[in-house]
Amino acid sequence: MKPGIHPKYRPVVFWDKSVDFKFMTQSTINTKDTIEWEDGKEYPLVKLDISSASHPFYTGKQKIVDTAGRVERFRRRYGMAAPSDDS
């Protein structure tokens, strides 16, 4: 490898703020924040909005969206009749 052209690969702590979940892994990401980890050492910190600890796909908790209300508003706005159940 050529010296000086590769980013520094180091341990970094990622923190999912929504569920207060922290994990450490190797990364080349640049960050100004730092945090003291469980081993007493200080590591760079990356704050996340979502991770596997809070994502609905991994947690199995889906948010219910009011799609029926949206569909009815669309039909009223554009004068469309609801489909019939004449199967």
Q: Is the pLDDT of residue 59 over 70?
A: no
Would you state the pLDDT for residue 37? 94
How far apart, in whole angstroms, are the C-alpha atoms of residue 21 and residue 24?
10
Q: For 2-52, what is each residue's pLDDT tens digit?
A: 888 888 899 999 998 888 899 999 999 999 999 999 999 999 999 988 887
Q: For 60-75, what is each residue's pLDDT tens digit?
A: 666 555 556 777 888 8
H or E, element range at 48? strand 42-48
